[in-house]
Homo-oligomer: A and B are copies of this chain.
Amino acid sequence: MPEGPRALLRTAVDAAFTSVDRGMDRSRVEEAFLGTLGFSGWQLGNASAVLAEEARIGHAPVTRVENACASAGFALRAGARAIESGERDVVLVVGLEKMSDSPSPHRRYWLGVSGDTEWERLAGLTFAGVYALMASRHIAEYGTPREALAEVAVKNHANGLLNPNAQFHKAIDRAQVLAAPRVADPLGLLDCCPVTDGAVALLLAAEEVAKPLTDTPVAIAGTGAGSDALALQERDSMTSLAATRHAADEAFRRASFDRSTVGFLEVHDCFTIAELLAIEDLGFAAPGEAARMTLEGVTARNGRLPVNPDGGLKAKGHPIGASGASQAYEAFVQLRTSAGPRQISGVERALTHNVGGSGASATVTLFERV
């Protein structure tokens, strides 16, 4: 029987405490944040209270953050800020989604309404449809080859093979992606992320608190976020997400380093086109250039700028409200050189990027080995 939302929370939180190199007592957690969208189908509500119970952190306050697919990214920001403000020394950040046994009409409800309702959903446009429109426009404007979209999926499945936590351990090739049934032209089944259960727990600590606990701490070097209209027609572009650009600019303004020293990216590849948009909007490729980079292998795990070494939302899976925290987990293990067979060599800085509502909100977080 698959684990329910309470068990998923407990498993993730217990694993976070167990993983602290020199141990940490739960009583040190002063506050917690939970990113989740649908939470638990029809049955449970008050997600923050459920986390308080499952995490066993006494009367420490818990806040639920819900920003559609960017819920955990925004929860992570809130957690980092609690420490940055000087109010907290230790904060728990959790992301959770339990999709697999949510009744299908219910899941369609809470997932569907995270897109625009008046102009898109009620006209029949799904999330796959929205990203298909962006893909079509990107192809029209930049001549983006369909093979580049396919290569995103191929690369992320290859990376997922090396990630024990990935949902798919299955190599695919370009021909399979191109021949897969259409979901929303030009996107086929293998251009789309799957339905996923998952929970991720992160422990954040002030620098002086973290240092005695581990010899290999990882710092959050900057965070940024942005928003935009929900409906495509209200945005300034169909081939670029302003929320991502705004988030990235803000994060780099706060950090002490620039893009040139970032070793790898974890980006929000809910559909293959989204990875190309992200690379461009984050400022790692000129508009229209990410396709070529991808086809040339630059973004492969052994390339010059690996993108989604954990398999990305495509292969690792996309547990909606947990994905942003999962990206941070990958940044953490890679920068600590503890990623096992998927370890990228020589990386000291990483960027994670989480998007909600097809670009209505976005967060960017920068990480650095201390």
Contact B226 A46 (CB under 8 A): no
Bound state CA distance, A361 and B33, in angstroms? 13
Distance from A245 Cβ to chain B, minimum over Cβ atoms (Å): 8
Contact with B along A216-230 (1 / 0, CB 8 A): 000000000111111
Residues of B within 8 A of A31 (CB): 225
Contact A65 B64 (CB under 8 A): yes
Distance from A142 Cβ to chain B, minimum over Cβ atoms (Å): 23
Closest B residue to A117 by beta carbon equals B44
- The answer to whether the Cβ of A21 comes within 8 Å of any Cβ in the partner chain is no
Contact B66 A47 (CB under 8 A): yes
Residues of A106-152 at the interface with B, using a CB-CB cut-off of 8 Å, are: 109-110, 112-117
Q: Which of A74-82, A93-101, A161-169, A200-208 faces chain B?
A: A74-82
Residues of A220-251 at the interface with B, using a CB-CB cut-off of 8 Å, are: 225-230, 234, 242-243, 246-247
- Give how many copies assemble into the complex: 2
Bound state CA distance, A169 and B247, in angstroms? 46
- The answer to whether the Cβ of A323 comes within 8 Å of any Cβ in the partner chain is no
- The answer to whether the Cβ of A49 comes within 8 Å of any Cβ in the partner chain is yes
Give the most central of A49, A50, A363: most B CB within 10 Å.
Answer: A49
Closest B residue to A55 by beta carbon equals B227
Contact B59 A46 (CB under 8 A): no
Closest B residue to A64 by beta carbon equals B66
20 A-B pairs (CB sep. < 8 Å):
A46-B113, A46-B115, A46-B357, A48-B67, A48-B356, A49-B227, A49-B228, A52-B360, A52-B361, A59-B226, A59-B243, A61-B226, A61-B243, A61-B246, A62-B361, A63-B67, A81-B81, A81-B87, A84-B85, A84-B87
Bound state CA distance, A45 and B122, in angstroms? 13
- The answer to whether the Cβ of A215 comes within 8 Å of any Cβ in the partner chain is no
Bound state CA distance, A226 and B62, in angstroms? 8
Beyond contacts A59-B227, A63-B67: 12 other A-B pairs, Cβ-Cβ < 8 A, are: A45-B115, A46-B114, A46-B357, A49-B68, A49-B229, A49-B230, A52-B361, A53-B234, A61-B363, A63-B225, A81-B82, A85-B86
Contact B78 A42 (CB under 8 A): no
Bound state CA distance, A53 and B234, in angstroms? 9
- The answer to whether the Cβ of A43 comes within 8 Å of any Cβ in the partner chain is yes
Residues of B within 8 A of A171 (CB): none
Bound state CA distance, A356 and B46, in angstroms? 8
Listed from nearest, the 5 A-B pairs whose CB atoms lie closest are A45-B113, A61-B225, A49-B360, A85-B85, A52-B227
Residues of B within 8 A of A361 (CB): 48-49, 52, 61-62
Contact with B along A294-306 (1 / 0, CB 8 A): 0000000000000
Residues of B within 8 A of A117 (CB): 43-45
